[in-house]
Structure formats: structure tokens, C-alpha cells
């Protein structure tokens, strides 16, 4: 029997396998390694964002600013590289530092002023999106030999599959976040904070450092996702990433992480994003379904997993 704590994770994994198997039986080429590789490439920026969101939700918080940070990062890259002539690596460094500082500022407001994360990150969302739009309302094309090299860099796999540079960056980030969340002291602090913040403080968890660090990492990863997204579009645009924060939250919840915090796994978020990507891929292969069916199915899954979370919470309370 599967432990109740792994039940949401197991359900998500089962749904992913079933969905992929149905597609593989119904459509030629759906079950190929090429499709699997494309799932990681096409969803790299979303999964990077969702990994940061996982840490935030595990701590009992929320971050609504990530989509706007993605947009701001792209616009800054466009301005620094195209208009000011900076080397992309120098521009990336500035963008990542700025993103980290932005998240740390929100973490400071949440901790020291005891403000709700929802309100603080909502304000951060408006601020970042407003800054991006103020800098440039038009899309900024990025033309640089470095971007051409990035688009050509990757790993060839059997069957004509291709792991792009974006997917490789994703795997590095995934490994780092997995180790951070599950095999570091900081990860233990995150779970303790999400489980019960008062008990965590009594146990000696450095509340300020942990809270600020969580939101700094989330914004850092959102900024990195913005950079990765420019590898797809070769441009920066202020309207990029609208709704990405909701997709990230959905992936985290579908992956089995409790919205109240304290319980969940990084692997679950990966499965959640892959399940959402598989649904979209199925619709593309079918060709007759409206793309909005993706949102409908995700909405149904969210209702199911929220109900499951509630049932598990009530069961644990009954046994306590």
C-alpha cells in the first residue's frame, strides 16, 4: 500500500503514464523519444519557474510576480544586448542579480512587516510588469551571434530527438533545486516554515534568512526563465508571461504539493508540468480539439487535487 503522503505524487505519475500511453496508442510518433525531449524543451521556462514556486508554496507562501519578472527579464535583455550593445552573458548577470534582489525585497516586506505574501507579490507583479512596459511597449528583437550559438547547441539523441540548450539548463536547475529542497539544511527550514511557522521559530529556524531566501530564489529562477524564454523568441516583450504564475501554481498543486505548505516534492512539480505538457501535445496531435481544452482539463485536475488535499488534511487531523 502506498503511503498517504505519496498518494498525490503517485496519482500524478499514473495520470502522466496513462495519458502518454493513450497518445502513443492513438497517434503514430507520439510515444517517441523526440516527443519526450520536446516536452522538456518546450516547457523548460515554465518548469524552471514552477521549481521556484514549489519552494515558495512549501513554505506556506505564494508568488504572483513570477510571470511579470519573466517579462521584465526579457525586456532588460533586449535593451542591454540590442540597444546598449552588451555581451549577452553580462546582460544575463545583471538580470539575474536584479531578479534576485527583487525577490529578496519582497521577502523582507513579508517577514519584517508581517504582510501577506499574496498582497506583496501581487504588488510585485504590477511593479515588474509596469517597469517592463515603461521600458518598452514594443517587442525588442535580440540579434546576437551568442543567441545563434545557443540555438544550435544541444545533444542529439536516438530517433532524431534533440535536447536543446534550454532543456540542459533546466536539468541543471532541477538537480540544484532537488538537492536544495530535500538534502540541505535550508530545505529543512522551508518544510518547517510551511508546516508550522511558530513551531519553526521555537526550534531555531532562522525565519528572516529563510523567508527572504525563498523569495529571492523564486525571483532568481523567474529571471532565469525569462532569459531561457528569449532563447525561443529571440526577443523581449513586456506582455510575455501573462498567466505563467497561474500555470506554475497549477503544476505545483497537480504535482501534489499542499497549498498550505509543509508537504510536497520537487519531483511532483516536474510530473505536474510534464502532465500539462502531455495534454497540450495530445491536443496538437489530435488536430480537431480547441487548444482551450488544455485549460479545461487542467482546471478539472486542480479541482480533483484540491479535493484530495482537503480529504488528506481532514484524515490526518482525525488521526492526530
Q: Classify residue 235 by its DSSP letter.
A: E
Instruction: Indicate the length of the chain as a whole number.
Output: 320
Residue 52 lies in a domain: yes
Q: Convert the pLDDT of each residue in 201-252 to its tens digit.
A: 999 999 999 999 999 999 999 999 999 999 999 999 999 999 999 999 999 9
Kindly state the cell numbers that stand for 102. 527583487
What is the spatial distance between Cα 294 and Cα 298, in angstroms, rounded to a whole number? 6
> Is 70 inside a domain boundary?
yes
Q: Report the distance separating Cα 318 and Cα 320, nearest Å.
A: 6
- Asked if residue 305 has pLDDT above 70, the reply is yes
Residue 231 is assigned to a structural domain of this protein: yes
For 156, residues 6+ apart whose C-beta sits below 8 A from its C-beta are 162
Q: Whole domain around residue 279: which residue ranges?
A: 4-314
Using pLDDT thresholds of 50, 70 and 90, give the confidence band for residue 320: low
Q: CA-to-CA distance for 261 and 191, rounded, in angstroms?
A: 7
Q: What is the pLDDT of residue 111?
A: 97
Contact 264, 54 (CB under 8 A): yes
**Comparing C-alpha atoms, which of 136, 163, 173 is closest to residue 48?**
173
CA distance 180 to 39: 24
Per-residue pLDDT, 185:
97
Spell out the alpha helix ranges (H) of 79-234: 88-112, 117-135, 145-152, 165-183, 185-195, 197-202, 207-233
If one counts the domains in the chain, the total is 1
Domain-embedded: residue 319:
no
H/E stretch holding 171 reads helix 165-183
CB 298 within 8 A of CB 252: no
Whether residue 157 lies inside any domain: the answer is: yes
pLDDT at 68 over 90: yes
Q: Look up residue 284 and give its three cell numbers.
A: 496538437
Please tell me whether residue 240 adopts helix, strand or coil conformation: coil
The C-alpha cell at 191 is 518544510
Q: Is residue 271 part of a domain?
A: yes
The residues near 7 (Cβ < 8 Å, ≥ 6 apart) are 256, 308, 312
Cross-strand partners of 28 = none
Contact (Cβ atoms closer than 8 angstroms) between residue 47 and residue 268: no
What residue has cell string 545533444? 155
pLDDT above 50 for 1: no
The residues that bridge with 236 in the sheet, in sequence order, are 140
Is 309 within a domain?
A: yes
pTM to 2 decimals? Answer: 0.96
Domain-embedded: residue 320: no
CATH code, domain with 309: 1.10.3470
pLDDT for 2 equals: 53
Alpha-carbon separation of residue 220 from 27, 104, 213 (angstroms): 39, 9, 10
The confidence score (pLDDT) of residue 179 equals: 98
User: Which of 91 and 313 is assigned the larger pLDDT?
Assistant: 91
Amino acid at each position: 500500500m502506498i503511503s498517504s503522503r505519496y498518494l498525490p505524487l503517485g496519482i500524478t505519475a499514473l495520470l502522466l503514464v496513462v495519458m502518454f500511453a493513450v497518445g502513443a496508442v492513438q497517434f503514430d510518433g507520439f510515444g517517441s523519444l523526440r516527443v519526450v525531449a520536446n516536452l522538456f524543451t518546450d516547457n523548460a521556462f515554465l518548469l524552471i519557474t514552477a521549481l521556484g514556486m514549489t519552494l515558495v508554496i512549501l513554505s506556506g507562501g505564494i508568488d504572483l510576480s513570477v510571470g511579470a519578472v519573466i517579462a521584465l527579464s526579457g525586456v532588460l535583455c533586449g535593451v542591454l544586448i540590442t540597444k546598449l550593445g552588451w555581451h549577452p552573458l553580462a546582460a544575463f548577470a545583471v538580470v539575474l542579480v536584479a531578479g534576485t534582489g527583487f525577490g529578496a525585497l519582497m521577502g523582507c516586506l513579508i517577514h519584517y512587516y508581517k504582510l501577506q505574501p499574496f498582497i506583496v507579490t501581487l504588488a510585485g507583479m504590477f511593479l515588474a510588469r509596469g517597469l517592463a512596459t515603461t521600458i518598452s511597449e514594443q517587442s525588442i528583437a535580440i540579434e546576437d551571434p551568442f543567441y545563434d550559438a545557443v540555438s544550435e547547441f544541444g545533444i542529439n539523441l536516438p530517433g532524431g530527438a534533440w535536447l536543446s540548450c534550454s532543456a540542459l539548463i533546466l536539468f541543471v536547475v532541477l538537480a540544484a533545486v532537488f538537492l536544495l529542497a530535500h538534502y540541505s539544511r535550508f530545505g529543512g527550514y522551508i518544510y518547517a516554515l510551511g508546516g508550522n511557522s511558530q513551531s519553526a521559530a521555537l526550534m531555531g529556524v532562522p525565519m528572516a534568512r529563510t523567508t527572504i531566501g525563498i523569495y529571492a530564489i523564486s525571483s532568481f529562477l523567474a529571471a532565469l526563465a525569462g532569459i531561457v524564454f528569449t532563447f525561443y523568441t529571440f526577443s523581449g516583450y513586456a506582455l510575455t508571461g501573462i498567466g505563467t504564475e497561474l500555470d506554475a501554481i497549477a503544476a505545483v498543486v497537480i504535482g501534489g504539493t499542499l497549498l498550505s505548505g509543509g508537504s510536497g516534492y520537487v519531483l511532483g512539480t516536474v510530473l505536474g508540468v510534464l502532465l500539462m505538457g502531455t495534454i497540450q501535445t495530445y491536443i496538437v496531435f489530435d488536430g480537431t480539439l480547441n487548444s482551450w481544452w488544455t485549460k479545461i482539463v487542467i482546471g478539472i485536475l486542480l479541482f480533483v487535487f484540491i479535493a484530495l488535499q482537503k480529504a488528506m488534511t481532514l484524515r490526518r487531523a482525525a488521526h492526530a
